[in-house]
Amino acid sequence: MKPASYLPKLSVALIAAGSGSLFAQSVDEPTTDRVYDLEGFTVTPLEQFANQAIYGETPISFSEVGKEDLDKYLASQDIPMALNFTPSVYATNQGGGAGDARINIRGFDQRNVAVMINGVPVNDMENGWVYWSNWDGVGDIASSVQVQRGISNLDLAVPSIGGTLNIMTSPAGQNRGGMLKQEFGSDGFSKTTLIGHTGLINDKFAASAAIARKMGGSYIDGVWTDAWSWYMGASLQLNDANTIEFYGFGAPQKHGQNLYQRNIATYSESTARSFANFDEEAIDTFYERGFAYNETWNYVDASYTAPQADHHGIGPRRFEGYINERENFYDKPQVSANWYFRPEDSQWSWDNVLYYSGGEGGGTGTYGSVSRVSDFGGYFHRNRDWDAEIAQNQANLDSAGRAESTGILRNSRNNQYTIGLISKATYEASENWTTSFGLDWRTAEIQHFREVRDLLGGDYYLENEQQKTLGGIIDYNNTNTVDWLGGYWQAAYEKDDFSGFGMIGLSQISYSFQDDYNWVNGAPLIVDSDTFDGMQLKLGGRYNLNESTSVYANLGYVEKVPIFDNVIDDGSGEKYLNPPDEIFVNYEIGVNYTGAEGKLTLGANYYRTNWDDRAFSRRLELRQGEQIVFDEYVNISGVNQRHQGLEFEGSYRFNNQFSLNAAVSLNDWEYTNDVTARVPGLDSDLQQLIPSQFDLYIAKLKVGDAPQTQFSSSLTYTPQSGMYFTGAMRYNADNYSSFDPLSRTNEDDRIQSWKAPDFTVFDFHAGWKLPTDTDIEYEIFASILNVFDEEYIQDATDSDSFSGYHTDYYGDEDLGIVGSGDYRDLHDADSAAVHFGAPRRFNAGIKMSF
């Protein structure tokens, strides 16, 4: 039987998740495999192009959150926050800024998690990171979010080591109608969303559009959001063989930030004292400022109304009476054109997408010497004294009577564009065999520079004997390029109870750097990298033991090309010596069970991922006597990690009113070996000169930054059609603080990084579709997040150099060591910097569908 994508009559795949399920689990047959025709009009489904996993066919572990569950559990948070109830996924909102969330899957951060929207990669082209503020409106228009854990079934050479987050937007071909939703919540939050669909027009064309406006404050002082988002989707069926789709979305926004983790004592003295051996001197140094404290803003006299500069030019400031030191502003729209060629009665099909993403914006901070308040003890976490700095700048007059600023606000700007083309051809060789191959081409240009944002009372800022005014470029001005070319070949086989696939992918990448700020010999410095080659191999198979039970296994080998930051130093333009390919080897086995009538679904799997030669870079200076014989940027190889674990998930429907979902993750992530200092590319004589500080003692240390033990569950009560009440809980344990492995250079220091306390958080969600006799439907909904106002630490950094307390930093000769060879004082609660989780808050609203 041909898959849905090969049906002669093209069709739309729709998500139809029931409100009684928290998420459509990989062990429960999702509705993405259902195919619907809309009034005779058909649109090519995105699922095949976007590598959507299909229950019963794709031999990987995955979970899926449908549209209704997204609306229910997201509660206007960033999309990753709705995925915390899936196995081995950990998402936090970090400092609480809108769009500042991050996600970790199987112990890998976003640099090794591929994020796709309609099959188009959105990870940063330079370093692989994902900035969720750029995709703020995606949650409003997403039809589903699929979390594929591990190597996934992606055929693109993207960083899908920990997993893949595949976001699908609502298809254009929907019935005519629309939706208006008004939300409000804690801290003055307000959001209005309007979505409309044309329905079928002349049996050929359909379109959807959405716009949203979001504003509000935060439970953190000085944090706020001012955002818009928009979406447009259209589909045109040219003839029986050709369909074109257009997608566009963007999220222009500004928001205040709370970037810095702090010492626990800065948040709460009583909380600090609840930890054993928390140093009393640390409490005196980092004394209590409260959980809402944020040092990156402060009040300013309302009479100060000078303009500021940003990506829109020079204009009035947003607020009177206070100034944010750290603010993010960005607009990164993405548009794409998809062409599907599916000739009737042909074994061939051809899918293409041409896309463009261009962004402008940046983040703010101080530059020069800016005054801090001094009305309390301790040095760290002091707010800026804007009034004092303004007065100082206004009094600092030059010979012409103009005020020269000694400290200012700056914008760190990032203007960029990416153009890409993905082309895939598929051939159905026989009833059992299907093969496909394709190309993935991308090119990007990214400009990094700093500019004067606010002169803080002065007339200019003097740099390099030049007077810089608002918008003037300072500090640096670099342009980086990234050129990418990938290709793959894949074969799939399906017969009776067995299905399997094999894939090989190749990729090439190269970079360039141009320094337009510090010229050399009267011209900008231009540096071109070598071309780096990567490869990935994937194999997977699934076998149905009977109608209720299936088993699967997959294997992956990935040689990941180095990111820009490990090839060229973005400050000096110097190339790193021998950037390494990082090697990942992954294998996984799993079993799924579906009981009679689908009431009980269970799934379990074991995975293991080895990460070899993790890339780290440093500047290395080697001397022979007083002579410097080597001074270059180098990559350090030999750091290896092992990520392995057991994952379980399941659901049980007691009756038409009660249903239960649960997920368990038992993980073991650790560094596997000590590292003897070695720099690839150095001859043996120079290798002998490498200082012992480059030796790393990390064997058996746990990988930090996410809890290694997780349990979540939800119970939904549906007393009548259209009404639901859901209680959800998540328990996280064994959350070791993040740390830099390159900091572990003392052979006697074998202490694990500080482990944050275990915590459990409960959420509550409710909704009711009001009875009506008209064509307009009304629904009211509400969410209470962190119902019991749990105080918990969600992010932590071990032995932090800024917010951690170490007696050696304050002049104690014993370097904070409790006893000979005992380094516990360097890895305890008072040495850590943390973000606490959000307190209790609510989100509620009304939705009108027509």
The CB density around residue 713, as the number of other CB atoms within 10 Å, is: 17
Summarised one tens digit per residue, pLDDT across range 565-581 is 999 998 889 999 888 88
The CATH class of the 4-190 domain is mainly beta
The model carries a pTM of 0.91
Q: What's the 3-state SS for 363-391?
A: EEEEEECCCECCCCCCCCCCCECHHHHHH
| C-alpha pair distances (Å), 358 with each of 124, 353, 376, 417, 512 | 12, 16, 45, 4, 19
pLDDT given at position 171: 65
Taking alpha carbons only, the member of 642, 584, 649, 559 closest to residue 608 is 642
Taking alpha carbons only, the member of 765, 768, 650 closest to residue 711 is 650
CB 168 within 8 A of CB 67: no
Summarised one tens digit per residue, pLDDT across range 239-252 is 989 999 999 999 99
Mean per-residue pLDDT, 103-130: 93
Summarised one tens digit per residue, pLDDT across range 456-485 is 999 999 999 999 999 999 999 999 999 999
d(CA 70, CA 2): 31
Q: Is 161 helix (H, G, I), strand (E, B) or coil?
A: coil
Partner residues linked to 400 by β-bridges: none
d(CA 578, CA 635): 7
656 Cβ neighbours under 8 A, 6+ residues apart: 718
683 Cβ neighbours under 8 A, 6+ residues apart: none
Q: What is the largest CA-CA distance in the chain?
A: 90
Is 816 a residue whose pLDDT tops 80?
A: no
Q: Is 779 helix (H, G, I), strand (E, B) or coil?
A: strand
DSSP characters for 493-507? Answer: EEETTEEEEEEEEEE
The b-or-e profile of 83-103 (16+ CB within 10 A means b, else e) is bbbbbbbbbbbbbbbbbbbbb
457's tokens: 């009372």
pLDDT given at position 6: 28
759 Cβ neighbours under 8 A, 6+ residues apart: 731, 732, 790, 792, 793, 794, 837
pLDDT band at 52 (very low <50, low <70, confident <90, very high): confident
Say which DSSP state 577 is in. Answer: B
Partner residues linked to 535 by β-bridges: 506, 559
pLDDT given at position 277: 86
For the chain, what is the radius of gyration of the CA atoms? 28
pLDDT band at 535 (very low <50, low <70, confident <90, very high): very high
In the block, which residue shows the tokens 């409790």?
Answer: 818
pLDDT given at position 824: 75
CB 781 within 8 A of CB 847: yes
CB 13 within 8 A of CB 4: yes
814 Cβ neighbours under 8 A, 6+ residues apart: 807, 808
184's tokens: 């409000």
Summarised one tens digit per residue, pLDDT across range 296-354 is 999 999 999 999 999 999 999 888 899 999 999 999 999 999 999 989 889 999 999 99
Q: Is 187 helix (H, G, I), strand (E, B) or coil?
A: helix
pLDDT band at 293 (very low <50, low <70, confident <90, very high): very high
The residue ranges of DSSP E strands in 257-370, in sequence order, are 297-299, 308-310, 313-315, 322-324, 327-331, 334-341, 348-368
The residue ranges of DSSP E strands in 176-241, in sequence order, are 177-185, 189-197, 205-216, 225-237
The number of angstroms, rounded, from the C-alpha of 220 to the middle of its chain's C-alpha atoms is 21
In the block, which residue shows the tokens 């959507």?
Answer: 52
Is 810 a residue whose pLDDT tops 80?
A: no
pLDDT given at position 807: 54
pLDDT given at position 172: 62
435's tokens: 């093969």
Is 375 a residue whose pLDDT tops 70?
A: no
> What's the residue count for the chain?
850
The CB density around residue 32, as the number of other CB atoms within 10 Å, is: 24
Q: Rounded mean pLDDT of the chain? A: 89
Q: Residue 269 belongs to what H/E stretch?
A: helix 269-273
Q: What's the 3-state SS for 580-604?
A: CCEEEEEEEEEEEEECHHHCEEEEE
Which sequence spans correspond to the domains of the chain?
4-190
Q: Residue 72 belongs to what H/E stretch?
A: helix 67-74
Q: Is 616 helix (H, G, I), strand (E, B) or coil?
A: strand
Mean per-residue pLDDT, 681-710: 90
d(CA 826, CA 743): 12
* Euclidean distance between the first and the last CA atom of the chain, given in angstroms as a whole number: 38
In the block, which residue shows the tokens 């950094």?
Answer: 797
The CB density around residue 466, as the number of other CB atoms within 10 Å, is: 11
Mean per-residue pLDDT, 181-209: 93
Summarised one tens digit per residue, pLDDT across range 395-454 is 999 999 999 999 999 999 999 999 999 999 999 999 999 999 999 999 999 999 999 999
Is 3 a residue whose pLDDT tops 80?
A: no
CB 19 within 8 A of CB 724: yes
Mean per-residue pLDDT, 771-795: 95
Taking alpha carbons only, the member of 83, 199, 193 closest to residue 141 is 193
pLDDT given at position 812: 43
Which range has the worst mean pLDDT, 64-73, 103-112, 444-453, 698-707? 64-73
More confident residue, 355 or 687: 355
The CB density around residue 276, as the number of other CB atoms within 10 Å, is: 7
pLDDT band at 47 (very low <50, low <70, confident <90, very high): low
Mean per-residue pLDDT, 86-104: 95
d(CA 136, CA 76): 9
| C-alpha pair distances (Å), 799 with each of 697, 741, 805, 832, 842 | 16, 12, 8, 5, 35
Mean per-residue pLDDT, 683-702: 88
| C-alpha pair distances (Å), 191 with each of 200, 408, 779 | 29, 34, 16
pLDDT given at position 450: 98
pLDDT given at position 12: 28
d(CA 244, CA 43): 9
Mean per-residue pLDDT, 633-658: 94
Partner residues linked to 409 by β-bridges: 366, 454
39's tokens: 């009034």
Say which DSSP state 690 is in. Answer: S
